[in-house]
Structure 1
């Protein structure tokens, strides 16, 4: 095993992207870039672990000047960025989510579905298009997402906080046994195959790489990060996290707007190496 990596307290650093690594304006700070690169150069494995799709996460990894493994779609997909090789996928057939799609259509709630590398929508307007642009997503518009001939990895609905609160309540009675939902942001609810989570994907990836979970540090900010924070040997919530996420973490660092990732890596890895 890499000798430098052995000298670090944590060998693998799992980073959520939006609300954690990126500032609220979706930019990367120079402090975060510099510290993450230093950790990588000293032997740490950097893994972006995000609710984003693969093509939306890749530009962030490239801006960091890194390559390697990505966990995307809240853990439903694991990809090698160097060749876009799909290493793992947890999907479901489109017909499984038909009751949820019907509810979203009836109530005028925007939704999209994802395969490992694509995002499909039935409708677009200026507000929704601006949201996709912000997250570096190029959606493909189709007449009926349920007519897809590919397995899906995620269904997402987008709307106001009140709308998403209501969706969470309404969909509990509509969810088939094969899938589950999670609140991935104030304005988003995600549906994936039951058992899929960032934590489960991190556990699988750590086993493949031969890295004990005790040597994994994870940093996140929202409820879809909780499983990842709990699986890692050291789970850190940024200061802008809801109280429930902070309670699931071992430590709390500065906010995403105040270089929380930088401070956490410096404090718990680089200064202790």
Structure 2
């Protein structure tokens, strides 16, 4: 069956390890779009630092962001769907992070808030620079009136492993996912890339067998299993590869371009 929608993770999938979108990958995706396949970026990033990649390729449509918590229209930046999380329930996680020296940020659809943006450690500052985000100072809960999309803890892999293990013993009111070696995300319990992709596809009358999804990490599994063809990058953990129908080359070998060329352009 013809692929009508291509769902692509961004970091570790679409981009190489230098956070670059290669010219050949861009060319392949533009050709796929011209052939009738809609490109939808599905990222742990927010709309503000996901939409620019669509703009660079001259593509419109939608981006699924914050791991499925926010779906936005590219041209208008309008939020067409969101899974808003309960901010009050975050207090124990904020207290844990502050007590244990774990960096965290709180995300609305387009905003990212931290405790002390002017005093960030170099490693944290470089991370935000790579993700094209400028952190704002976290206000009091009562002053944060925009719906919350995601809570993210960031740190060395050993620290994140410990956090994930400890939070996993809590009675979590949120969906917790590992979106990278150095990131743990908390969201609305119904939010995921797969849930957002399903909602978007159904609104367009697109069935799973008409969807190609490509990703590289645990937060991609829900969309890989929802899509008729789910493809994992070669740089994926083994559990992600096991959940996929197929494995393509790594993000540093332009695996996305190879997969789209094989399943969309060559048919």
TM bucket normalised to smaller: over 0.9
Task: Describe the superposition over 1:135-171 as per-residue Cα deviations: whole angstroms up to 9, x where unpaired.
Answer: 1111112354675222211000000000100110111
How many angstroms apart in 1 are the aligned matches of 2:205 and 2:253? 33
1:163 counterpart (135, 156, 159): 159
Which residue of the partner structure matches residue 224 of structure 2? Answer: 229
| TM-score relative to the length of structure 2 | 0.96
Matched-pair contact (CA < 8 Å) for 2:83–2:190: no
Matched-pair contact (CA < 8 Å) for 1:100–1:175: no
Task: Describe the superposition over 1:25-71 as per-residue Cα deviations: whole angstroms up to 9, x where unpaired.
Answer: 00011110000000001111000000001101111112222121000
User: Structure 2 stretches of 5 or more lacking a match?
Assistant: none
SS in 1 for 2:81: strand
How many angstroms apart in 2 are the aligned matches of 1:193 and 1:92? 5
Which residue of the partner structure matches residue 17 of structure 2? Answer: 24
Task: Report how far residue 213 of structure 1 moved.
Answer: 1.1
How many angstroms apart in 2 are the aligned matches of 1:201 and 1:226? 13
Question: Are 1:84 and 2:77 an aligned pair?
Answer: yes
Matched-pair contact (CA < 8 Å) for 2:86–2:188: no
Matched-pair contact (CA < 8 Å) for 1:121–1:145: no
- Give the alignment of 1:163-242 within 5 angstroms: 163-177=159-173, 179-242=174-237
Which residue of the partner structure matches residue 128 of structure 1? Answer: 124
Matched-pair contact (CA < 8 Å) for 1:74–1:198: yes
Task: Describe the superposition over 1:92-116 as per-residue Cα deviations: whole angstroms up to 9, x where unpaired.
Answer: 2211111111100100100001111
Matched-pair contact (CA < 8 Å) for 1:253–1:260: yes
Which residue of the partner structure matches residue 3 of structure 1? Answer: none
Task: Describe the superposition over 1:7-30 as per-residue Cα deviations: whole angstroms up to 9, x where unpaired.
Answer: x72100000000000000000111
Task: Out of 236-245 and 56-65, give the one that drifted further.
Answer: 56-65
Which residue of the partner structure matches residue 245 of structure 1? Answer: 240
How many angstroms apart in 2 are the aligned matches of 1:229 and 1:11? 15
2:33 counterpart (33, 40, 44): 40
| TM-score relative to the length of structure 1 | 0.94
When the two chains are superposed, the root-mean-square deviation of aligned CA atoms in Å is 1.3
Matched-pair contact (CA < 8 Å) for 1:94–1:148: no
Matched-pair contact (CA < 8 Å) for 1:51–1:74: yes
How many angstroms apart in 2 are the aligned matches of 1:31 and 1:171? 41
Which residue of the partner structure matches residue 270 of structure 1? Answer: 265
Task: Describe the superposition over 1:191-246 as per-residue Cα deviations: whole angstroms up to 9, x where unpaired.
Answer: 00112110010100000011111100000000000000000000000111111000
Which residue of the partner structure matches residue 2 of structure 2? Answer: 9
Q: How many residues align?
A: 264
Task: Describe the superposition over 1:165-193 as per-residue Cα deviations: whole angstroms up to 9, x where unpaired.
Answer: 0110111233443x121100000000001
Question: Are 1:57 and 2:50 an aligned pair?
Answer: yes
